[in-house]
């Protein structure tokens, strides 16, 4: 696969990711992810550290909330990365076509 082929593929994926963000399925997935982040924040605020008698149990509870929030946040990040990489690829292709 040539560099131009790779750039064209990245550009196409970026365009598809942009279209994806306008769909109902994206709104549902993103809405659920945002709810997961909010749930993790609320659970962290309400977490009672004194209910844990073993420090590692408290650390594990906090870690699990952080993981849940990071995964949810990653969903949007992955789509945004695809859009940005696609835009960069399009710009590179445009510059190469001008030369």
Domain boundaries, the chain: 3-98
pLDDT score for 78:
95
SS3 22: coil
Give the span between the Cα atoms of 20 and 18, in whole angstroms: 5
First vs last C-alpha separation in the chain: 21
Sign of the C-alpha dihedral, residues 21, 27, 32, 35? positive
pLDDT tens figures, 12-62: 999 999 999 999 999 999 999 999 999 999 999 999 999 999 999 999 999
Give the CA-trace dihedral at 49, 55, 60, 62, to 10 degrees.
30
pLDDT tens figures, 64-73: 999 999 999 9
pLDDT score for 19:
97
Looking at per-residue pLDDT, the higher value among 97 and 6 belongs to: 6
């Amino acid at each position: 696969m040539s560099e131009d082929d790779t750039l064209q593929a990245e550009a196409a994926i970026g365009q598809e990711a942009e279209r994806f963000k306008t769909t109902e399925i994206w709104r549902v997935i993103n809405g659920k992810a945002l709810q997961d982040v909010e749930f993790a924040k609320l659970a962290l605020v309400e977490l009672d550290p004194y209910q844990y008698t073993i420090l590692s149990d408290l650390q594990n509870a906090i870690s699990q909330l952080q993981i849940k929030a990071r995964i949810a946040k990653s969903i949007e990040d992955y789509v945004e990365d695809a859009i940005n990489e696609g835009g960069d690829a399009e710009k590179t292709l445009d510059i190469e076509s001008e030369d």
